[in-house]
Each structure stands twice: as structure tokens, then as C-alpha cells.
Structure 1
Amino acid sequence: MKDGTTNTQKSSSSSLILDVDDFKGDFSFDALFGNLVSETLPSFKLEELDSEANDSMQNATKYSQGTSSPLFPDVEKLLLLFKDSCKELAELRKQVDGRVHNLKKDVSVQDKKHRKTLAELEKGVDGLFESFARLDSRISSVGQTAAKIGDHLQSADAQRETASQTIELIKYLMEFNSSPGDLLEISPLFSDDSRVAEAASIAQKLRSFAEEDIGRQGISAVGNATASKGLEVAVANLQDYCNELENRLLSRFDAASQKRELTGMAECAKILSQFNRGTSAMQHYVATRPMFIDVEVMNADTRLVLGDQAAEASHSNVAGGLSSLYKEITDTVRKEAATITAVFPSPSEVMSILVQRVLEQRITSLLDKLLVKPSLMNLPSMEEGGLLSYLRILAVAYEKTQELASDLRAVGCGDLDVEGLTESLFSSHKDEYPEYEQASLRQLYKAKMEELQAEGHRISDSSGSIGRSKGSSIASSQHQLSVTVVTEFVRWNEEAISRCNIFSSQPATLATYVKAVFTCLLDQISQYIANGLERARESLTEAANLREKFVLGTSVGRRATSAAETAAAAGENGFRSFMVAVQRSGSSVAVIQQYFANSISRLLLPVDGAHAASCEEMATAMSRGEAAAYKGLQQCIETVMAEVERLLSSEQKATDYRLPDDEMLPDHRATNACSRVVNYLSRVLESAFTALEGLNKQAFLTELGNRLHKVLLNHWHKFTFNPSGGLRLKRDITEYGEFVRTFNTPAVDEKFELLGITANVFIVAPESLSTLFEGTPSIRKDAQRFIQLRDDYKSAKLASKLSSLWA
């Protein structure tokens, strides 16, 4: 076994196990190890391993008992193989290290050679760059020299060309410097139609040169007068030639225009642009447009806008006619713009002339016929439409013409201030516009008042067969205030304000116009309400006259009673009519206030103080109506109190408050006079409760209640009262008190409550009168007068008994 191992080791040592190539490429240690041990380790089959697995426990037992045979018999071979491999690996590392060292030495030598070569190349490149820099500098120097030479040559050529042209111009100038009008010897250039453009250019240069020379000579020494005279001849001849040439070109331009040869027109326009910047050609083209030279076009414009009967044209028809006409004009100008753009070198200047001519000739001619400014001293009649017709047509024409100006601006009009020019067309009408608007409103108001008056007379005449009182009532009702009429006033004013918005672009100007127009409305409303209330008062005055004429005297007859009732009915009708007038005047004022808040106030804000001034004017205007209403309400109270006094006088009996002592049961009903008065007041005041409101209603009812209290006191002082009559009086006072409580006036309620307490002086016994005033001392004055009305005042000697009380 030992000898075998020795021999194997020797045989293994004699051959190399590892080689350098084994470590090249994709090296894998597992593959290297497998190659080393593949010949030494036995190869076992899988089934042999499975068969031996059953004997593993037995073998383990044997091993554990100290069996001498090894588990891996080839381990010595493997150890020897590994040792030899390690030796060979050490040898291979030495070989590799040697080779690496040699390679390093070779690389170092090659690197030194390479660095030396690079250094030599860098020196060569630096020299090359220096050569290129010198070459570039030289090229730049040569280029600058060549440019200077070129500039000199160009300048010399320009001078030569200028000199050549100058010589040529002097030659042509000498030709024109002959006798005036003698142009037969001039160069063929100026008579050749094919060279018209060149001839025009040269002629303009010659004329410019000659005119400048004349200008210089005019301020120089006298010795140059001869030369100036010669150039003046040349200038005259050149002017004649230029005029002739310009006319000839215009003729050619017209001929091309008639044939619609845009190329020929453009050629002539380009040449003519050298004469006064082409102004003559532009103006000539515009002036020859059919819309400016055809009279039938002007007549057609008038017929389209005004119709066959110009005097009867309405503003709506005028608006439609202007819309159609202005659309036609805009389309025509748009077509002309296309031609102008294709023909003229400066189309914007031509468009400016064209649009200006349209506005100043065609539109102005139409407006002169359309807007005939009436005289404020002699207004047109309402049958002809009045001032309103003129203002409506003016507003329509202004608005439509402004729209035309915008459309023409969109088409193109150069630098022309088309909006300013349009404004100037209406300047004469806008100067006095506020005065015309106010005059129109006054004319409308006057016509409306005449219409209402005529209607009232017509209805009055138709009711002539009716009795006087009824006829008067009917006629009066036709003069009543109408909220519908006031609304019509406001509608006129709204229309006027809308025109103010059209004519006023500046807020301050608009505020001034609006204030003037609104002030006119305030004057109309104030006058209408005041007059309406005065007319309503006429029925109250007539009723008062009837009362005075048919007042009851000492004798009472059927005829006198009938007359008194007629006067009372007239008074009641007058009361109702006036209350209706007051109600409508209040509604009218509300309409004005709402109109001011919604439409007027915001327009006045741009002007300081205008809003406050208008509010003050409105209050002042309404004060006139308030004064008339106050007078009328006072008359209403007088009318009511007069009827109350009549009813009390005619219905109150002496026995109402002095009942017979033998009457078994007292009468707790109100007296007939009281019932009649309360019924009358309830009936007549129904219209007052409806018409009046707020403080006005409270003031009226307070005054009426105070007057009723006074009338009743004066009335009762005419009677004598016994205790039963005192109870009857107390019942009447209660009835009156319940009625006046509907007034909602605490002061009047208190008076009637105290009156009811005072009436107790007729009920209590004489000896108890002094105690009556202890709780209510405020009734002492009225009670003193009432006590004197007791039927036992003298018999009971109350004057002496109560003297200490009154002291």
C-alpha cells in the first residue's frame, strides 16, 4: 500500500496537473475542482447508493466498534493531488508575475516613445496655428482694403452717374429754357407716349431744381438776376409741360377707367403720383364716381328715405329708408375700395377722400332735405307732428348716420376722422337740442290739456238735458285727475331721455340734458295736479254757494228742504270727487318718484349737486299741489261740518234731551239726529279713508274730529237737559265716540271720553256735583257750561251752591 502510494506520487509529479490556459476565458472553480478529482474519486451509480442505504446503520455500528478500514479509501490520493496542485499554482503565479513584469517594462518604454511623439506633434500644431493666424490677419487686411476700394469705386460711380444725370438734366433744362411757349425743339423723350413715366420723373426733377435755384437766387446778389430770369422761363415752360402731361395722363386714366382696365389705371395712377403726390388723380377719380355726378342718384336717395310725400314721412319709415340707403352706400364704398386698392399706390389716401366726399356731399344733401329745423317762435302744428316729429327723425338720422360712420371705418377711410366729421353734420341741430326737447314737451302738454278740455265740453254738452246739479257733477267728473294722463307725461319724458342718451356721449353733458328735461316734467306734473285739484274744489265751492243760497230760514217749507238736500247732495258729490282727485294726485306723485329713482337719479350723478338740486325741484313742484290739496281738504271739512250742522238743526228735537217725567221707561237709543249724523259721516268719509294715507290721513281726521267735537258742543248748548235727557245725551256721546275711534286719533278719542264724563252733570243730584270734579278736574270748564243747561239750574240755585267750586 505504501509502495503503491509512492509510485502514484512519483507518476503524478512527473506530469503537470494545471496549466495557465485553465484560468483563461470564463473561469469556474467548480469546473476546475471537478477536473482535478474526476480521475481519483470512484463514480457511484445511483442504485448502488440506494442499496447501500439499508446497510448504513450496520456499517455505522461497525465503525463505532473501531473497525480499522477507512471510510474514504482515496483520501491519500486526493491530499497528494491537492499538494501537487498547490505547488503548480505557486509556480504558475511566478510565471505570470514574470510575464506581467516584462509587460510593464514594455509598456513603460512604449509610453515614453508615445509621449515624445505627442510633444513633437503639439509643437507642430502650435506652429500651424500661428501660420493660420498670420494668414487670417492678412486676409482681413486685404478684405478691408478691397472694401475701401469698392466704396471708393461705388462713390465714384455714383458721382459719375450723378454727374451724367446732371449733365442730362442740364441739357433738358436748356431745352426748356427757350422762349416761353416754344417747346417744339425739346427732346423726343418728352413727346414719346411710351416713355411717359420717365418724362414725368425728369420734368419733376427739372422743375424742382429750377424752383430751388430761383429761391436761392432771390436772396443772393443782384448780379445773378439774369440767371434767375432764365430759370423762371424754364420753370414756366416746365409747368406748362407738366400740366399738359398731367391732363394727358388723366385722359388716359379716364379711358382705362371706362374700359375697367385696372392695369392701365394703375400705370397712370403710378405716374400721376409724381404730380403733387397724385392728389389730382385721387380727386379726379373720386369726383367722377356716379354717386357724385348723377342727379338721379340724389333723387333716388330722397325717395328711398322720405317716400313720395316727404311731409308725411314718419320716423319709423325714415329709419327703414336710412338703413337701406346706408347699406347701399356701404356696399358701393366697399366695391370702390377694391378698385382703389388695385389701382392707386396710396389707397388709404384715396379712401379718405372718397369717404369724406360721401359724407359731405351725398349724406349732407340728404340730411338737408330730411332735417328741416323748425323755429321755436313758430312751432309746427300737432297735425303736422309738432316738434316731436322733428326730434324723432333727428334722433333716427343721427343714430343711423353714426352706424354708417362705423361701417365706413370698418371698410377703410385712411386717417380721416369719420366720427368727428359725422358729428359736424349735426352740429347745428345739437346746439339748441335741449331747448327743442323742452319746447316739444310743453307743446305735447298743451295739446293734451286742450284735448281733455274739449272732451269735457263735449260730454258736458251731451248732458245738457240733465238737471243742473247732475250735469255739474258729470262735467266735473270729466275734469278729474287721471293717473293714465300722468303716465303719458312720464312716457313722453322717457322718450326724451332716450334721445338725450343718443345725443350725449359725455356723462356730464347727459346729466345736464336730463336735468333740463326732468325739470320740464316736474313743471307739467305740478301744474296738472294743482289744476286738477282746483277743478275738484270747484264742486265744493258750488256746493257751498248752494248752501248759502238755499239756507233754511226761520220758516221751513217743502221747497226749502228740497233745496237744502240738493245742496247737501252736491256737497257730498264734491267731497267724493275731491277725495278721488287727492288719491290720484298721490298716485301720480308716486309714479314720478319711482320714475326718478329708476331712470333719472343715476344719470345725474356725474355732475356734483345735480341729484340734490333735482330732489329739491321735485319737492318744490309738489308743494304747489300740496297747497291746493290742503285748501281742498279744508273745504271738505267745511262741507261735512255744514251738513252735520244742518242735520242736527233739522233732526234734533227739544224733547230729545228733556223727556217727560211721567215716561215709564227711559229710551236708551241714540237720538235720530245722532243716527243721521253718524250714518252721514260713515258714508261720506268712506272715500277719505281710501284716498288719504299716512300723516295726511291722520291730520285730516284729527282736524275733522276736533271740528265735530266743537260743533256738537255748540249744538248741545242750545238745549236744556233733565236727568233722563242726560242719559239720552250720554248715549249720543257714546255713539259719536265709537264712530270717531275709527279715526285712530288718540287726541280726539280723549276729548269724547271727557265729553261723556262731563255729561254726567245732567244725571247726578245737585248735592253730588262737587264730587264729580274731584276725579277729573280737566272737565271743569265744560262742566260749568253744561251745568247751566240743567233744567233745575235756577230752581236748585246751583249757581250759588257751586260758586265756591268755580272760585
Structure 2
Amino acid sequence: MASAELFDDPFDPQEYVERLAWRTPGGGTKGGSRGFDPHMLRDEFIAHIDELKILDGKIQQRAEKLEAALGKESRSYKEKMNELMARNQQSFTQFQSLEDRINYVATKVVHLGDQLEGVNIPRTRAAEAHQLMKYFGEFLSDEFTSEELTNPYRVCEAAEIVHKLHLIAQELPFQRFEGVKSRIVAKYHEIEEKMKDEFKEAHANGDTKKMRELATTLSSFQGYQQCIDSFIEESMRDAFYSNAEIFDEIFALCQKVSRVIDEVFSSPEQVTGKLLTRIYQGHLKGHVDKKLSESRTTDPEKYLQNLFTLYSKTQELSQRLTQFKLGSDSNFIAKLTNGIFKSYLDSYVKVEVKFLKDKATMISQRFYDSKDHVKRQNAPVSSLKAVIADKSRGHITFGLSSNAPNNVKGETFLSQELAINVLQETKMAFGRCRVLSSASTLSNNAVEIFNLLVDHLCNQHIGYAIELCSQNIPSSDSKTEPDLYFFDVAQQTNIIFHLFEKQFSDTLLPLIGSSSRYNECAQKKKGVREEMEVKLDAGLDKCLNAAIGWMKTILKTEQKKSDYSTEKTPDRQCTQACGTVCAYFKKIMEYMRKSLDGNNVDAVLTEYGKRFHRMLFEHFQQFRFTFLGGMMAICDIKRYRECASSLESPFLEDLFESLHSLCNLLIVAPENLREVCTGERLSNLDRSVPHSFIQLRSDYRSARLDRLFA
């Protein structure tokens, strides 16, 4: 029987029909084609369709009932909403009416109050004047009978009376009322002193309620400021025990006293400001001056560290104190801080630069002393005039003449430790500069430190070492194997300059990034880098010349003419000279890979391979080759190609492939030479190049090979 549950989402009609057919006997695939009965399936479909029609009717009736119920409920809600709207309108009308009546009554009350006040104020003033006249009469007769003036426990009431009489007495003629005026003034000062004494006593007892009452009364007296000063002095007494903890003690004192000030005084901002002024200009300034005066002239490093620490802690303290009521002047604490440190901050950068210069010079001198090397400090680095001293023999020579003893061979005169020490000092200097410089001087002060760093690290250390060591690179015609430690110079220069650039981006850039001095510093760094690259390129070029020159020397001394003019079958894979050259080539190549990095190593190795190729090309031009000698040359070229392939440069592999093809001309049969010369590898070369190699064959004249190029 069909039911509504069969059509629950998701409903797939095709799946529904398939499921119905599967359940019907003879309608599925069970039993194969013989088991299928279309008539039975048709009857089942017709019966099921009738059931679906009946189900549709039932669902339709149910939907109609639900729609009728929905319509009825909707009408009910609509009627209820209309009723609520009507009641809301009625309430709003009543509220407006009530508001109008309240406004009317309030107007009447205000009018009545004004009338009562107009009658009561003159009456009150008359009563107060009458009472004051009675008190004035007592002073006039010098006989005090009123409770307010005779009761010692009603001092605040007496103070108010005497204060008013004191104001009146100032307007009276002196000659006629001299006696009464003097008595009023005497009473005024007597009560004032008494209130100040009671205020001190209440302060000592922690009675803030009485302190507030006395302070309110005293606020109209001339001695009110003395009362505040006394309060501050008593609050600060025994508040400072240790100079090491003075900043915490100041904050603790302000935190403790601030609560009392807020409860006692009507103008807490004024009292708090006076308290901070007394603390800053007194205890804190004394502590700072004492701390800095101890090392200002004797120990600049300690002085700068103390100045940085004290100023930082003062700034931190000032920031913490902003939570207290300080009035409308937002720069109040900043002005107090500036009053303490102004003289020190004005001269800060001069002290900083002088200290850094002396420190960097000391670090540099200590390094050169450890190397037993004397460097002329006032000579420009570019002139390469340094003083080289052999202290053990007491011999000093100037310049780098070949016959003068020198102690620079094999020594790079570069020190990562020195660089790290100098960079650490400048990093701390930049940190002090950030805190101790104002916004207007920050970038200029940072640039001064940066210029000093460039001069001492880049120019006087790195630049000096590069130029000094480049003078010791052997020439290309050296008779001994050259010591190419200049590659170490390049490596260490790269490491040190990376450290320099890291400090530039991490430490200096945040200080000058938004100022006009940034481009100046960036250009200076770029200029220093380019200058070093030029010097290093020149030194590396001399190293390559020396290496290639030594290979030429090896070939000249070890390569025999008989190696290539022999009639004997080769009994080894390459000549002795070739083996020696290849071993030296790989040694230098590994040295370069260890010392250089990035694009630099690729560029230098490519240039190294090009010069190696040119040297071999010229070398083979010096010999005459028999057939078996040509075979030996091919063996040598194979070894040379292996060396070149280790450089991992397609360009160099192509060069040596061409050289290999040219050497093949030494062993090709005469009748095949023309075909080989016009082949793919050699056709792109100038005709004179293959001709020059063919001329090296021992059978060049006998086989009349010159006709190939006629």
C-alpha cells in the first residue's frame, strides 16, 4: 500500500519505479529473461497508480484542512493585533495628557520656589548680618560670650565667623577701629594656627574625615598652602629607604597618598601636582645627579648605561603616574622629567659618538695587536699605505715592497669577533638613541651613529683588509704555487657585511624609516657595498690570473713535446702535466665554492672556466701531434672536460665540447677532414680556427692538407 512516507525528501522518481519493479514478482532480473513477466508488472503498475490516486486525494484533503486552520488562526492574530494597537494608542494619549499636567505643576512649583527664595534670601542675609554684628560687638568689647567663639571643640565654626569678620575689618577705618581690627587679626591667626595643628594631628592619626573638614575650612585662609606643604612633607617623611628602589618607592608613595588626597582636599589635582613636583625636583633629581656625576667624566660607558637606565625608569614611572589626577596639563610630568634630564640629554649624542669612536678604536687596536700588526690610523684606506711591523725583530717598514719583511701573508686581517663586538656596541647605542633622543633629533642622532659604524667597520676594517690583502695576491708569473687566501677575505667580507646589513634593517631602519635621512643612509650603504664589490672583483680577478698563471707554469714545466709527438701507444689515461693541472683546478674550484655564495660563485666559476679554456686552447697551439700523440691529447681533453663539467655551466660545457671537436681534427683521416670541418659542431667557428689545429698535425705538409683551406 502506498503511503506519504514514500515521498519524503529527497525523492527520486526513477529510483522509486525501479524499487517497485524489483519488489513485483516477475518484474526484476532474477531468473533471467524467463523470469520476467511484463503482464504481471503492468497489472502491478496499474494497481499502484490507483493507490497513488487515492493517496493524492487524502493528501489534498489534509492540505485543505491545514489551509483552513491557518486562515482561521491568521484572522485571530489579526484581530488581537488590532486590539493591542488600539490599547497602545489609548495609553500613549493618556501619557501625553499626564506629561502636560506634570509640566504645568512643575512650572507652578518653580514659580512658587522663586517667590519663596526672593523672600527667604534677604531674611537669611539679615539674620546672618545680625549675628555677625553680635560677634563683632564681642570683639569690640573684648568680651567673648558666644558658644562658637569660646568652645574649643567648635573651631571650624569659629573659623568661618572670624574669616567673615576679618574681611569686614579690612574695610573699616584704621584709626577708629584699630583695637577691634587688631583683636580680629589676632583671633584670625590664632584659629588658623590651631586648625593647622589639628590638621597635622588628624593626619598623624589617619582621621581623614576631620582632615577634610579642616582642609575645607582652611581653604579660605591665607595659610592653606602651608597646610598643603605640611601634608606633603609629612607624607614624604621616611618614604625613601633605598636608592636602588627609589622608583618603586615613589610610585608606592603616590599610590598611598593619592587616596588620602582625593578624600581630604577639594582640589586633589593641585595637591597631587605639588607632591610630584616636590618628589621630582627633590629626591629624584638628587638621585639622578648623584648617580650620573659619579661616572660622567671617568667612565663614559657606565655614564651612558646609567643615563639610559635612569631615563627609561623615569619614563616608565611617569607613565604609571598618569593614573592619578594631575589636572588639565597633559605634559605636566613630561615637563618635570625634562627639568631633571635636560642638561644630560642636550649633550647625550656628543658623549655617545665620542664613546663609540673610542670603543671601536680600542676593539680594532686590540685585534691588530693580537696579529702583531701596526696600522697607520690617519692614512686613508684607499691609499693602501699601512705600517707593517715585525715587533719581535724591532723592524718597522712602510709600504708593501717585495724586499721588506711583512707579516700579512696568509692573514686576512678580518675578524667576525671584532665585527660582532662593534655591531653590538652600535646596537646598544641605537637603543639608547631611541630612548634619549627627542622626536626632532632622533633621525640625526641615529645617522651620526650609523656614519661612525660605516667608517670603523666598513672602511677602516673591511676596506683596509681587502686592499691590504689584495696587494699580497701573487702575480700570474709566480714561480711557486700561489697562496690564494684572498678567497677567505671575500668569504669573511660577505659574512661581516651581511651582519652589517641586518643591523641596518633591524635596528637603524625603525629609527629613520619615516624621516628624510633614510634615503641618505640607504644610498651610503649602497655606495659602500658597491665600493667593496669593485675591490673584491679586482682581487678575485688577480686570484684567477694567479691560478691560471700557475697552471701555465705546470704545463710549461711538466708537459713534454714527446707527450704528443710519440709513436708509441698511450699506456696511461692522461699525461702527467694534465693530471697535475686537473688536481690543482679542482682544488681551486672547491676553494671558490667554500668561500663564495649565491650568484657570486656562479659568476666567478664561469669566468674561471673561460680562462681555463683559453689557456688550454693556447697551450695546444704550441705542439705538433702525431696520430698517437693526438690520441693522448684527446685523453687529456677528456680529463679537462670532466673538470669543466664540474663547474655546472652549460656555456662552459659547450666551449669544451668545441675544443674536443677541434682536437679530434688531430686524428681524423685526411680524406674525412673536410666533412668534419663542415659538421654541426665546427661549422659555426671561423675557418681559421680549425685550420690552426690541422696545421698542428705532423702530416700537414706530407698529406698536403693546406689544400682544404685554399
TM-score > 0.5 by shorter chain? yes
Q: Describe how 1:530-545 pairs up with structure 2 within 5 A.
A: 530-540=463-473, 543-544=474-475
Alignment CA distance shift 1:581-1:268 (3 Å): same
Match in the other structure for 2:458: 526
- 2:76 corresponds in structure 1 to none
Structure 1 position 539, deviation (Å): 3.7
User: What is the CA distance between 1:486 and its match in structure 2?
Assistant: 3.7
Shift of 1:643: 0.9
| Structure 2 residue ranges without an equivalent (≥5) | 1-107, 375-388, 395-401
2:618 equivalent in structure 1: 714
Shift of 1:396: 1.4
Aligned-partner Cα distance in 1 for 2:156–2:501: 76
> Residue 633 of structure 1 is aligned with which of 530, 540, 548?
540
CA drift of 1:364 comes to 0.9
Query: In 2, are the aligned partners of 1:266 and 1:343 still within 8 Å (CA)?
Result: yes
Partner of 1:582: 490
Asked if residue 279 in structure 1 is aligned to residue 279 in structure 2, the reply is no
Structure 2 counterparts to residues 145-544 of structure 1, below 5 A: 154-161=120-127, 163-164=129-130, 194=152, 201=160, 204-205=163-164, 230=173, 245-246=188-189, 249-250=192-193, 253=196, 257=200, 260=204, 269-276=215-222, 278-287=224-233, 291=237, 304-305=242-243, 321=244, 324-333=245-254, 336=257, 346=267, 348-372=269-293, 384=299, 386-387=300-301, 389-410=302-323, 419-424=333-338, 425-431=340-346, 433=348, 437=352, 439-457=354-372, 479-499=412-432, 502-503=435-436, 521=453, 525-527=457-459, 528-540=461-473, 543-544=474-475
- Structure-2 separation of matches of 1:236 and 1:448: 85
Q: CA deviation at 1:357?
A: 0.3
Give the CA deviation at 1:464: 8.2
**One-letter identity of the residue aligned with 1:583:** Q
Q: In 2, distance between residues paired with 1:539 and 1:431?
A: 48
Shift in alpha-carbon separation, 1:436–1:162, aligned structure 2, 3 A: same
| Aligned-partner Cα distance in 1 for 2:574–2:436 | 72
Contact 1:262 1:342 in 2 (8 A): no
**Shift of residue 597 of structure 1?**
5.7
Amino acid at match of 2:313: K
Q: CA deviation at 1:640?
A: 0.4
Partners of 2:568 and 2:271 in 1: how far apart? 119
> What are the equivalent positions in structure 2 for 1:6-85 lying under 5 Å apart?
none
- Aligned positions of 1:585-664 closer than 5 A: 585-593=493-501, 607=514, 616-659=523-566, 663-664=567-568
Deviation per CA, 1:752-804: give whole Å up to 9, x if none. 222222234433466665444322230523233344444455666665x3562
The whole-number CA distance in structure 2 between the counterparts of 1:442 and 1:350 is: 47
Q: Give the C-alpha shift of residue 703 in structure 1.
A: 1.7
Contact 2:412–2:489 (CA<8 Å) still a contact in 1? no
Segment of structure 1 superposing worse, 713-722 or 735-744: 713-722
Matched residues in 2 for 1:279 and 1:261: separation?
21
Q: Is the 8 A contact 1:373 1:429 kept in 2?
A: no
Does 2:647 match 1:743?
yes
Moved more, 196-205 or 722-731: 196-205
Could you tell me which amino acid in structure 1 is paired with residue 555 of structure 2?
L
- 2:592 is the alignment partner of 1:677: no
**Larger mean Cα displacement after TM superposition, 758-767 or 665-674:** 758-767
1:619 Cα deviation from its structure 2 partner: 3.0
Alpha-carbon shift at residue 621 of structure 1 (Å)? 3.1
CA, structure 1 residues 346+144, in 2 after alignment: closer, same or farther (shift >3 Å)? closer
Distance apart, 1:708 and its partner CA = 2.0
TM superposition shift of 1:252: 7.0
Equivalent-residue separation in structure 1 for 2:247 and 2:176 (angstroms): 52
Who is 2:602 aligned against?
Answer: 698
Deviations 1:527-558 (A, max 9, x none): 34333433443442xx34xx87xx6xxxxxxx
After superposition, give the CA deviation of every residue in 1:440-473 in whole Å (9 maximum; x if it has no partner): 54444323212211211189979989xxx9x999
Name the SS for the 1:743 alignment partner. Answer: coil
Residue 599 of structure 1: CA displacement? Answer: 6.1
Rounded Cα–Cα distance in structure 2 between residues aligned with 1:147 and 1:400: 59
Larger radius of gyration: 1
Listed one character per residue, the Cα deviations across residues 135-154 of structure 1 (whole Å, up to 9, x for unaligned) are xxxxxxx9999989966753
Q: 1:232 to 1:284 in 2, by over 3 A?
A: farther
Equivalent-residue separation in structure 2 for 1:144 and 1:360 (angstroms)? 54
Q: Distance between the aligned counterparts of 2:573 and 2:588, measured in 1?
A: 23
Q: Aligned equivalents of 1:625 and 1:233: distance in 2?
A: 99
Q: Residues 797 and 247 from structure 1, CA distance in 2 versus in 1: closer, same or farther, beyond 3 angstroms? A: farther
1:319-372 Cα deviation digits (max 9, x unpaired): xx2xx2233344445555576667656555333312220111111111112234
**TM-score, normalised relative to structure 2:** 0.65
Shift of 1:667: 5.0
> C-alpha separation between the residues in 1 aligned to 2:702 and 2:181?
143
- Aligned pair in 2 of structure 1 residues 803, 414: CA closer, same or farther (>3 Å)? closer
Rounded Cα–Cα distance in structure 2 between residues aligned with 1:652 and 1:233:
137
Q: Structure 1 340/254 Cα, relative in aligned 2: closer, same or farther at 3 Å? A: farther
Aligned-pair CA distance for 1:266? 6.8
Structure 2 Cα separation of the partners of residues 531 and 200 of structure 1: 85
Structure-2 change in CA distance of 1:153 and 1:332 (3 Å): closer
Map Cα deviations across residues 143-192 of structure 1 (whole Å, 9 max, x no partner).
9999899667534523533653686799899x7xxxxxxxxx97869998
Q: Is 1:490–1:592's contact at 8 Å kept on the other side of the alignment?
A: yes
Query: 1:405 corresponds to which letter in structure 2?
Result: S
Give the whole-Å Cα distance in 1 for the aligned partners of 2:653 and 2:573: 21
Contact 1:200–1:242 under 8 Å retained in 2: no
Q: Is the 8 A contact 2:634 2:663 kept in 1?
A: yes
Cα distance, 1:261–1:237 mapped onto 2, change above 3 Å: farther
Give per-residue Cα distances to partners, 1:290-312, cap 9 Å, x unaligned.
65xx9xx9xx97xx54xxxxxxx
Quick check: 1:702–1:743 contact (8 Å CA) kept in 2?
Answer: yes
- Look up the SS of the partner of 1:719 in the other structure: coil
Change (3 A) 1:357 1:253: same
Which residue pairs with 1:41 in the alignment? none
Who is 1:72 aligned against?
none
Shift of 1:400: 2.0
One-letter amino acid of the counterpart of residue 725, structure 1:
G
Change (3 A) 1:632 1:152: closer
**Alignment equivalent of 2:656, drawn from 728, 739, 752:** 752
Select the structure that is richer in helix. 1
Aligned length: 569
Which secondary structure state, in structure 1, belongs to the residue aligned with residue 687 of structure 2? Answer: helix
Distance 1:204 1:609 in 2: 64
The Cα offsets for residues 716-764 of structure 1, whole Å up to 9 and x where unpaired, read as 3333333333333332222222211211223332222222222344334
| Partner in structure 2 of residue 135 of structure 1 | none
- Distance across 1 between alignment mates of 2:123 and 2:452: 83
Unaligned 5+ segments in structure 1 are 1-141, 176-184, 214-226, 306-320, 552-563
Distance change in 2, residues 1:258/1:168 (3 Å): closer
- Is 1:723 equivalent to 2:644 in the alignment? no
